[in-house]
């Protein structure tokens, strides 16, 4: 978990470097703590390879970086990369403003198909 949170931090830092935006120094610590209490992917229920995704992205809404209401946990499990597919519409340059609904629908679809 700690390793994953660190991975996000490094990845995001690279992405925003060219815009001159600096990550909040508390991001790594706070996001790691938050993941301990939010340890399931919103789209799959999986607890593996979790990332915190910013619903409204950091590079456009840096003021929401540390706002937990802007965070959602999505997996990067290679079996189904919810972070990429649902959070970013399969394009890292995009973001899905309907990510919460789409993740909920995906979770429901998975639960329903299990019950059959």
Q: In the bound complex, what is the minimum distance in angstroms from residue 75's beta carbon to Zn ion? A: 12
- Rounded-to-10 torsion of CA 60, 63, 68, 74: 20
- Residue 35 interacts with Zn ion (CB under 5 A)? no
- Mention every residue, 6+ apart, whose C-beta is less than 8 A from residue 23: 9, 12, 13, 16, 58, 65
Q: What does the alpha-carbon distance between residue 20 and residue 108 come to, in Å, rounded to a whole number?
A: 40
Shorter beta-carbon distance to Zn ion: residue 89 or 107: 89
CB closer to Zn ion out of 49 and 53: 53
If the CB atoms of residues 24 and 111 are measured against Zn ion, the closer one turns out to be 24
- Site size for Zn ion (CB under 5 A): 2
Cα gap 26→44, rounded to integer Å: 28
Please tell me whether residue 49 binds Zn ion under the rule CB under 5 A: no
Asked if 87 touches Zn ion (CB under 5 A), the answer is yes
CB of 33 vs Zn ion, minimal distance in Å: 19
One of 53, 75, 86, 102 touching Zn ion (CB under 5 A): 53
Work out whether the CA dihedral 66, 67, 68, 73 comes out positive or negative. Answer: negative
* Interacting residue ranges for Zn ion, rule: CB under 5 A: 53, 87
């Amino acid at each position: 978990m700690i390793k994953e949170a660190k991975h996000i931090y490094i990845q995001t830092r690279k992405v925003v470097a060219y815009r001159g935006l600096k990550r909040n120094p508390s991001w790594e610590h706070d996001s790691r703590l938050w993941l301990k209490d939010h340890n399931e992917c919103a789209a799959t229920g999986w607890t593996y390879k979790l990332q915190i995704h910013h619903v409204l992205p950091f590079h456009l809404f840096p003021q929401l970086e540390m706002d937990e209401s802007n965070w959602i946990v999505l997996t990067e499990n290679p079996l189904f990369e919810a972070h990429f597919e649902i959070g970013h519409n399969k394009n890292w340059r995009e973001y899905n403003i309907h990510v919460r609904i789409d993740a909920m629908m995906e979770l429901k679809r998975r639960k329903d198909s299990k019950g059959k």
